[in-house]
Amino acid sequence: MEINKTDNMRIEKKDGYNLVIQKDGPALGYSPESGVKIIEVDGKYFKSFDGSGKLLPYEDWRLPMEERAADLARRMTIDEIAGLMLYSDQNKLPMPNDTYGGKPFAESGMKAYDLSDSQIRFLTEDNLRHVLVSKVESPETAARWNNKVQALIEGRTHGIPANNSSDPRHSAFADAEFNPGNSGDISLWSNMLGLAATFSPEIVEEFGRIAATEYRLLGLATALSPQADLGTDPRWYRYRSTFGPEPKLVTDLTRAYCDGFQTSTGKDEIEGGWGRRSVNTMVKHWPGGGSGEGGRDAHYGNGKYAVYPGGCYETHKIPFTEGAFKLDGPTGKASAVMPYYT
């Protein structure tokens, strides 16, 4: 049965979405325009994504995650599964070279947080759910855009949300006359090599906690970082984004970075260290991107070869196997890994 309000539950109307607060269960956010219904079963409240008013196993937050995932997987088509294997190109907000309702952004009358035509297409037609967000006009733009993305897709088949992600956004570069920023108002920190100069896992973990809070406020759920590559050749232009060349230090700082981003504590924790302030870390670049021949980068054809003087292949893997994959915190390990192109 569909619910509006009871003694055990209330609905708070937010800016563009509703939030269901219940006494004995998780808060449930949904868009009133999406077609999602709030239903009551055994005194608990759930989202019915298909609007049928029936509680399906994957919608039941009481069940183990593995059981819910298995139920969802068997309901998905091949096209829907394929969509979850896709990753978007970089999305600026607004998109300067895209159209909005068939018109260039400047002529469309749209807001920076409105969805472009290509964004609507890859979310609805291609079933894509992993979205890379780059430069945005402001924090408000990022948050509103995220809400519009989630509202668009939650009422579609299965209600699988978008996993918005970002490359590192917090570095202030010394070679810039001013810092234009990737996302408006955001805290500015040294790059990873500068953080490594503190020799302090505690500082790096604190950075992770602060940055994760800001990511969540921007609607970002995954950090495409840390860059756990050993910086063995200073000619590599991505050297400054590493924690340096020393395996033990890089391992300790990589572990601290992942713990800071992923771990929620206190009232923010939901289960196993994951919670409302958690951001997935995608550690990169397995099995170590600092091995490019001559300092050349593997994004390009002339950097396609990795070299290991002295047979140090296994050394490049240490920050991953002993750091990102063996966290001190309750989340256990980095939730994702990005390979390199060598």
Q: What is the pLDDT of residues 105-159, one digit of tens each?
A: 999 999 999 999 999 999 999 999 999 999 999 999 999 999 999 999 998 889 9
**Taking the alpha carbons of 191, 135, 174, 245 in that order, is the dihedral positive or negative?**
positive
pLDDT for res 175: 58
Does residue 28 belong to any structural domain of this protein?
yes
Q: Are residues 307 and 242 in the same domain?
A: yes
Q: Are residues 65 and 181 in the same domain?
A: no
Distance CA 277, CA 262 (A): 8
Does residue 329 belong to any structural domain of this protein?
yes
Does residue 140 belong to any structural domain of this protein?
yes
Q: Are residues 220 and 323 in the same domain?
A: yes
Q: Are residues 130 and 207 in the same domain?
A: no
Residues of the chain with pLDDT under 50: 1-2, 177-181, 183
Does residue 335 belong to any structural domain of this protein?
yes
pLDDT for res 6: 73
Does residue 148 belong to any structural domain of this protein?
yes
Does residue 4 belong to any structural domain of this protein?
no
What is the residue type of 212? A
pLDDT for res 51: 78
Does residue 2 belong to any structural domain of this protein?
no
Select from 141, 164, 187 the last residue of a domain: 164
pLDDT for res 3: 54
Output the six-digit token pair for 262.
């992923």
Does residue 158 belong to any structural domain of this protein?
yes
pLDDT for res 102: 98
Output the six-digit token pair for 197.
């100069």
Q: Are residues 177 and 310 in the same domain?
A: yes
* Residue 283, C-beta contacts closer than 8 angstroms, at least 6 positions apart: 225, 226, 228, 254, 258, 320, 324, 334, 336, 337, 338
Domain, as residue range, for 266: 167-339
- Report how many domains make up the chain: 3
Q: Are residues 277 and 303 in the same domain?
A: yes
Q: Are residues 113 and 128 in the same domain?
A: yes
pLDDT for res 1: 43
pLDDT for res 178: 46
Instruction: Give the distance from CA 81 to its chain's centroid.
Output: 19
Q: Are residues 142 and 107 in the same domain?
A: yes
Q: Are residues 149 and 287 in the same domain?
A: no
Q: Are residues 155 and 204 in the same domain?
A: no
**If DSSP codes are grouped into helix, strand and coil, which group holds residue 167?**
coil
Select from 21, 53, 70 the last residue of a domain: 70
